[in-house]
Structure 1
Amino acid sequence: MHKIVFILGTRPEAIKCAPVINRMKEDKRFHAIVVSTGQHREMLDTTLAEFGIKPDIDLNVMQPQQTLSQVTHKIIAALTARLDDLAADAVVVHGDTASTLAGALAAFQHRIPVIHLEAGLRSGNISSPFPEEANRRLVSQITDLHLAPTTRSSANLIREGVCESRVKITGNTVVDALRWAAANAPTFDDNALVDLISDHRRIIVASAHRRESWGAPMREIAAALVEIARNDGVHIVVPLHKNLAVRDVMVPVLSGIPNITLVNPLPYRSFCRLMLRADIIISDSSGAEEEGPSLGKPTLVLRDITERPEAIEAGTAKLVGRNAARIVREAATLLRDPEEYRRMARPVDSYGDGNATGRVIDAINEFFGLEEMGTNDIRLANNTTPRQIDYSAVTIVPSSSSALVRYQPR
């Protein structure tokens, strides 16, 4: 039995790691240990509880007004005191947060193999998103097994010189989590939302929290929502991030607008129910950027560049930046043009087919050499090696038994 330590600290990490943790806990080949850094204290605990997960270790490192450097340092210091005792065979980190970077560094310095879930995403701009893009790139330098969600993310890693045998394409576990949550979504228990099911207006779910949105861009987003809300046939629901950089801008501007509803962050399953009810999603959240298109909800992405271009290319999401006039214009198009709305309102599997968890488990199993890969492995058509492939022509094609990387020469 191999001991696998999951180090996570934010709500997105909890959502995307939860399917793997729960599957691994049922697998006698592995012993899964969950270490929480507490980076997103309340939202993290609530999300893990929804998936029936209780951390084995809680580092509880967060304090008000800490800098990124302080958070990273405290996580590494706390992990240093724990990792030797845990005797881990591998450490799994996810994505691009301070917990991810600190967890990977601590594991590397203890000579523990690093497994990076959702590896290989690249925006191409080291400062956007900040600090996530840098965190991803740094972690990739010390990762032993890269679990890439898409062929594009795999190609990014190989282009950067990562050994092809260390990269496995799995799909994104967010789709696995989303399907579970959507199937188990509760009725709305927030008094502000109970009438949504019978509300005949177009429902827009809007959110913003990214560091690059703070300040003037956040004010532009708020102004755009006020303008969109002038349409009496629209009801905008805004789940407000806990960060004061968000609330200090959004609350004064949006409070008291008749068809704008401000709510606290929702539990994950409730938020999935809200997305299912939505007609349009407007957000700078990476989760919404993946979840909206997966649910067939036209998604306006409040960013200038993205490390998740697959839905943009599929035409079900659109980069609109953080300029008020542009946001209003793009939202108005979706509200007034039925053909444009139908074009974007198509569920797509750009980020996965809901079977990523099995592929992740198989890839980790293969990494340890426990047995041959099962039916969820990633195979290359015609025995073509990755370096011979034009990755702009590669797609994941789901099938009942596996996901083939299919290459069609141009």
Structure 2
Amino acid sequence: MKYCFVFGTRPEVIKVAPVYKFFIEKNEEAFIVATAQHREMMDTMMNVFGIEAKYDLNVMTHDQTLDSVVASIMQRLPPILQRERPDILFVQGDTTTAMSCAICAFHSKVQVAHIEAGLRSHDLYDPFPEEMNRRVIDVVSTYLFAPTEKARDNLIKEGIAEDRIYTVGNTVVDALKMITNSFDLPQMRSRIVPFERYILLTLHRRENIGERMVSILSAVAKFAEERNIHVVLPVHKNPNVRRIVFDTVGSNPHFKLIEPVDYVSFLALLEGCWFVVTDSGGVQEEAPSFGKFVVVARRTTERPELIESGFGILAGTEENSIHEAMVSASETKLDTAENPFGDGKTSERIWRIVRGVSQ
């Protein structure tokens, strides 16, 4: 059996690398195709995990559009699939890379394995284009690796055959265990922030750019001023995000605006924060591993397990609702809450399933 693993963004590397490395440890024939949808951030994460791509599609361009990414991948990946003839192509999540590569594999009659299948917000345009991407991937996949029972239920309700669906947990927990065992997070954190108590804030979601983002920032600023607490905000590279952030809170003394940090440094910040406010999907999964409460600054979430487990609140994007959610977060205790996203053994489960190895 030959296995192809594809990724093109930082979150994909984080969640694919543990699976790929487990396959390599088992002496499987496996190789990586990197699309470089996000060049710099992808390369940085590959270095963290010590992995290399056999093929690099190098699709990233200045001011790239979704259509240009799709077109480039669909031109460059098929010749590789024809040359290598893998038995299974692994994609992760809901990126444009994952969707485009899954379609290419389908066209080449290569089986698709979807890591993190079944997530749904049930709103095709929120998040955009991720909700459409993951639905398309699940339709063409032979192996659907659902991270939770709720994700599995979503797939069954859509009519996908149950014998294609496997509940395995989320590979992000595998990745976090690998990283926390390899790096001194408190020491790294001390190099970034000079204070011990702070709120961590991340904003980047496309549908939040504009008035929604201004409202979120205003709510966080109000809470920070009331509680006299610092807010650490790694400012996303998107120029539209940067403009809003600097215009809204650039001169606020409670905010420490920093450039985007590498993933390990971000985990150091996450480990040490009071709680986190974010519109990120990945952070919703990472925070429970560190016992941190999440204020989800979005109108929908495809990770309802976070809310149901008591680790987070879906706050919307209005200033009042964000502020109220932060007040609730400040009063929440998580001493007995269990991580809803897994136990760090997802990579092994995936390998056993595709190889037909019993527990």
Distance in 2 (CA, whole Å) between partners of 1:222 and 1:192 is 25
Selected match of 2:282 from 280, 283, 287: 287
Q: CA deviation at 1:184?
A: 2.8
The residue aligned with 1:387 is none
TM-score of the pair, normalised by structure 2:
0.95
The residue aligned with 1:170 is 168
The residue aligned with 1:115 is 113
The residue aligned with 1:205 is 200
The residue aligned with 2:253 is 258
* Shift in alpha-carbon separation, 1:155–1:191, aligned structure 2, 3 A: closer
Aligned length: 358
Q: Percent identity?
A: 37
Query: Following superposition of structure 1 onto structure 2, how do residues 237-386 of structure 1 map, counting pairs within 5 Å?
Result: 237-335=232-330, 340-342=331-333, 344=334, 346-366=336-356, 373-375=357-359
Distance in 1 (CA, whole Å) between partners of 2:190 and 2:280 is 25
- SS class of match (2:86): coil
The residue aligned with 2:129 is 131
Structure with more helix by fraction = 2
1:9 aligns with 2:4: no
Distance in 1 (CA, whole Å) between partners of 2:337 and 2:22 is 26
* Shift in alpha-carbon separation, 1:112–1:168, aligned structure 2, 3 A: same
Please say if residues 147 and 168 of structure 1, whose CA atoms lie closer than 8 Å, have aligned partners that are also in contact. Answer: yes
Distance in 2 (CA, whole Å) between partners of 1:346 and 1:237 is 27
| CA deviation vs aligned residue, 1:357-405 (integer Å, no higher than 9, x gap) | 1101111212xxxxxx332xxxxxxxxxxxxxxxxxxxxxxxxxxxxxx
Larger CA Rg, structure 1 vs 2: 1
The residue aligned with 2:217 is 222
* Shift in alpha-carbon separation, 1:154–1:190, aligned structure 2, 3 A: closer
TM-score of the pair, normalised by structure 1:
0.84
- SS class of match (2:225): coil
Query: Following superposition of structure 1 onto structure 2, how do residues 34-73 of structure 1 map, counting pairs within 5 Å?
Result: 34-73=32-71
* Shift in alpha-carbon separation, 1:330–1:289, aligned structure 2, 3 A: same
Q: CA deviation at 1:259?
A: 2.4
Gaps of 5+ in 1: 367-372, 376-410
- SS class of match (1:5): strand
Please say if residues 8 and 36 of structure 1, whose CA atoms lie closer than 8 Å, have aligned partners that are also in contact. Answer: yes
Distance in 1 (CA, whole Å) between partners of 2:219 and 2:336 is 25
Q: More deviation in 239-248 or 281-290? A: 239-248
Distance in 1 (CA, whole Å) between partners of 2:320 and 2:18 is 40
* Shift in alpha-carbon separation, 1:190–1:272, aligned structure 2, 3 A: closer
Q: Which amino acid aligns with 2:340?
A: S
Q: CA RMSD in A?
A: 1.7
Distance in 2 (CA, whole Å) between partners of 1:255 and 1:301 is 22
Please say if residues 295 and 347 of structure 1, whose CA atoms lie closer than 8 Å, have aligned partners that are also in contact. Answer: no
Gaps of 5+ in 2: none
Q: Which amino acid aligns with 1:21?
A: Y
